[in-house]
């Protein structure tokens, strides 16, 4: 029969258990920080979901929130399903999701077009030389 574990003086079993759980949580947290997603090495130029995610999400795949979260939230998908549609070649994107991506893409295009028009007007206004000769504030010129 093994001898029972002796705790240091002043340490009761409940406190020792809480300390052990805290240490396990720290270890799990460090492991979770090291985990990251990797882009599929399979290259398909016509992979529509991944192309859409790259256009909408200009951050890298391992940065928060990442393509998987953005793609999944845009279509209302769970993370494993979104990951499947983005990085696996053996499943095609369902028609209802393709229609939603088309709607979102048209919406984004119209917003980009409006922004481009506003930016062009702003640049044209700011790039004109300032006129000299007018005195502001009612001052006299001699």
Q: What are the structural domain ranges in the chain? A: 47-125
Per the CB < 8 A criterion, the answer to whether 79 and 97 are in contact is no
pLDDT band at 137 (very low <50, low <70, confident <90, very high): low
Look up residue 65 and give its two tokens: 């929130």
Residue predicted with more confidence, 61 or 10: 10
Q: pTM (2 decimals)?
A: 0.51
Distance CA(40)–CA(53), nearest Å, equals 14
pLDDT at 76: 92
Distance CA(49)–CA(102), nearest Å, equals 11
Per the CB < 8 A criterion, the answer to whether 80 and 88 are in contact is no
Within a 13 Å sphere around the CA of 108, how many CA atoms are in the beta-carbon half? 12
Q: Tokens 């240091």 label which residue?
A: 8
Cα dihedral: 43, 45, 86, 114 (round 10): 140
Query: What percent of the chain is modeled with pLDDT above 90?
Result: 22
pLDDT at 48: 76
């Amino acid at each position: 029969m093994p001898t029972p574990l002796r705790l240091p003086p002043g340490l009761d079993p409940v406190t020792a258990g809480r300390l052990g759980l805290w240490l396990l949580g720290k270890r799990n947290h460090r492991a979770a920080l090291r985990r990251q997603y990797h882009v599929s090495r399979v290259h398909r130029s016509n992979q529509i979901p991944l192309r859409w995610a790259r256009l909408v999400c200009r951050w890298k795949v391992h940065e928060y929130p990442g393509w998987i979260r953005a793609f999944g939230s845009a279509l209302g998908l769970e993370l494993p399903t979104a990951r499947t549609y983005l990085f696996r070649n053996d499943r095609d994107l369902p028609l209802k999701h393709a229609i939603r991506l088309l709607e979102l893409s048209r919406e984004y295009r119209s917003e980009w077009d409006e922004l481009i028009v506003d930016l062009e007007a702003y640049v044209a206004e700011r790039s004109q030389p300032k006129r000299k000769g007018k005195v502001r504030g009612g001052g006299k010129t001699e």
